[in-house]
Amino acid sequence: MAEAAVGDAAVAADVRNGYGVLYRPEHRAALFANRSRIDAIELIADHWFDAKGRKAAELDLLAAEFPVTLHALKTSVGTVEGPDERYLRKIAAVAARVKPAWWSDHLCITRIGTTNLGAFAPLPRTREAVDVVVRNIRRIRERVPVPFAVENPTLAYDVGGAEYAPAEFLTAITEEADCGILLDLENLHADEENLGHEPTTFIAGLPLERVWEIHLAGGYRLGAEYVDAHQRAVPARTWDLYETFVRRGGRALTILEREAPLPPFENLLNELDRARLVAA
Amino acid sequence: MIDYQRALLAAINDDGTSAVPNVDRKEFQRFLAVRKRKNRPLQTKPGWAKIITFLRRT
């Protein structure tokens, strides 16, 4: 397997050039029936903790059949007291089983002390926060010996007193921690709708060689809010951002995130074909 | 960061009555709304809800 010389992570170049989906069991049969059109799948690590019996067998089958990346939800890379050791052990166990190309989680706080916040709380874009996250990612990489990438989450609010622009903040963290970026273009779209953040400036400010993975998804408007719901087809604005990323020379594993209610799998395949066309 | 985390936790616990320094209150309400949406308990089937309501009345 070829490797890209990015940071200290040996990131599989052939996976980085692929197109795939976030795995949903409802689409299992369709996924295998269309194996030739799926280059890789993303698994939510949290869904496979302590998998036994049929679930473990399903996990083994998926990992044997597809190149895999893992995506996690509760690492809480921004928590001052550091990531939960038990959580990291569970991630490491899943990773040892499926041998992912890399794993990822969101640049946010999801836990304070023993309290699970139940949502992604934004970080202040300060030097202090960079130091906290870099320290945490170093510990994460000691505990889970797999390349790690951070994802830009949807921001519910901006914390004032920022010392970095949004892209500068993510760049400083990934350069200092020597990790990858999972760039969620629909999250950039949501931040544009909700907070007026300019997404093309964000993309232009990133070290694109560190972007290992792209998330594409579709949300909807609920009153004054744009909801990052993963329940709609990828909207035109997010396709524009994908084109911007590609035109600037970005190449990354493109993953479609879709949650229930799920459309026919053919719809997702058509969206993947569109992504391939944009990148051609 | 410690101060931010403490303020965040307090505001979550009292449903946004406390302020988080440097955070707009209206924007913070969006965070609370996201939190509620993501952690919504599983809905009881409407049929069962009606039956339970009926049983409680009787």
Rounded CA-CA distance A187/A202 in Å is: 12
At B55 the pLDDT is: 62
- Beta strands A68-71 and A40-44 are parallel
At B58 the pLDDT is: 55
At A70 the pLDDT is: 98
Answer yes or no: is pLDDT of A7 > 50: no
Whether residue B28 contacts residue B12, with contact meaning beta carbons closer than 8 Å, is answered with no
- Contact between chains at A195 and B2 (C-beta distance less than 8 A): no
CB of A195 less than 8 A from some CB of B: yes
Rounded CA-CA distance A33/A269 in Å is: 12
Q: Which pTM was predicted?
A: 0.91
A197: DSSP letter: -
Answer yes or no: is pLDDT of A1 > 90: no
Residues from chain B that touch A227, judged by Cβ atoms under 8 A, are: 37
DSSP for A1-36, written as a single string: --EEEETTEEEEHHHHT-EEEE--GGGHHHHHHTGG
At A233 the pLDDT is: 96
Mean of pLDDT values over A76-94: 97
Mean of pLDDT values over A79-103: 97
Q: Which of B2, B23, B32, B43 to mutate to test the interface with A (most CBs of A within 10 A)?
A: B23
Nearest to A267 by CA among A30, A58, A12: A30
Residues from chain A that touch B34, judged by Cβ atoms under 8 A, are: 119-120, 156
Answer yes or no: is pLDDT of A8 > 80: no
Q: Which of B34, B38, B39, B40 to mutate to test the interface with A (most CBs of A within 10 A)?
A: B34
**Structure tokens, A129:** 């926060």
Whether residue A152 contacts residue A197, with contact meaning beta carbons closer than 8 Å, is answered with no
Nearest to A233 by CA among A204, A211, A256: A256
Residues from chain B that touch A153, judged by Cβ atoms under 8 A, are: none
CB of A132 less than 8 A from some CB of B: yes
Predicted-complex ipTM score:
0.88
CB of A221 less than 8 A from some CB of B: no
- One-letter identity of residue A206: L
- Contact between chains at B31 and A195 (C-beta distance less than 8 A): no
- Contact between chains at B23 and A132 (C-beta distance less than 8 A): no
At A224 the pLDDT is: 87
> With bands split at pLDDT 50, 70 and 90, how would you rate the model's confidence at B51?
low
Rg, C-alpha atoms of chain B: 18
Question: Which domains does chain A carry?
Answer: 12-279 (3.20.20.150)
Phi and psi, residue A59, nearest 5°: -60, -45
Whether residue A149 contacts residue A156, with contact meaning beta carbons closer than 8 Å, is answered with no
Rounded CA-CA distance A118/A143 in Å is: 24
Rounded CA-CA distance A179/A204 in Å is: 19
At A4 the pLDDT is: 42
At B53 the pLDDT is: 61
Rounded CA-CA distance B24/B8 in Å is: 12
**Structure tokens, A212:** 């290992």
At A30 the pLDDT is: 98
User: What mean pLDDT is reported for chain B?
Assistant: 81
- One-letter identity of residue A155: L
**Structure tokens, A70:** 């893992």
Nearest to A23 by CA among A66, A86, A64, A80: A66
- One-letter identity of residue A95: A
Q: What is the pLDDT of residues A210-265, one digit of tens each?
A: 999 999 999 999 988 999 899 999 999 999 999 999 999 999 999 999 999 999 99
- Contact between chains at A117 and B12 (C-beta distance less than 8 A): yes
**Structure tokens, A132:** 């906290």
> With bands split at pLDDT 50, 70 and 90, how would you rate the model's confidence at A182?
very high
At B48 the pLDDT is: 60
Rounded CA-CA distance A224/A203 in Å is: 25
Minimum-distance CB partner of B1 among A129, A158, A161: A129
Q: Which residue bears the tokens 């965070």? A: B31
Rounded CA-CA distance A210/A105 in Å is: 15
- One-letter identity of residue B54: F
Percent of chain A past pLDDT 90, that is, above it, reads 91
CB of B10 less than 8 A from some CB of A: no
At A14 the pLDDT is: 82
Residues from chain A that touch B8, judged by Cβ atoms under 8 A, are: 109, 112, 117, 121
At B50 the pLDDT is: 60
Minimum-distance CB partner of B1 among A128, A161, A194: A128
Which residue in B has a C-alpha nearest to residue A132's C-alpha?
A: B1
The mean-pLDDT minimum among A11-15, A66-70, A215-219, B45-49 falls in: B45-49
Residues from chain B that touch A161, judged by Cβ atoms under 8 A, are: 22
The mean-pLDDT minimum among A56-65, A251-260, A270-279, B42-51 falls in: B42-51
At B52 the pLDDT is: 59
Rounded CA-CA distance A6/A8 in Å is: 6
Mean of pLDDT values over A261-279: 97
Q: What is the pLDDT of residues A133-175, one digit of tens each?
A: 999 999 999 999 999 999 999 999 999 999 999 999 999 999 9
Distance of residue B16 Cα from the nearest chain A Cα, in angstroms: 13
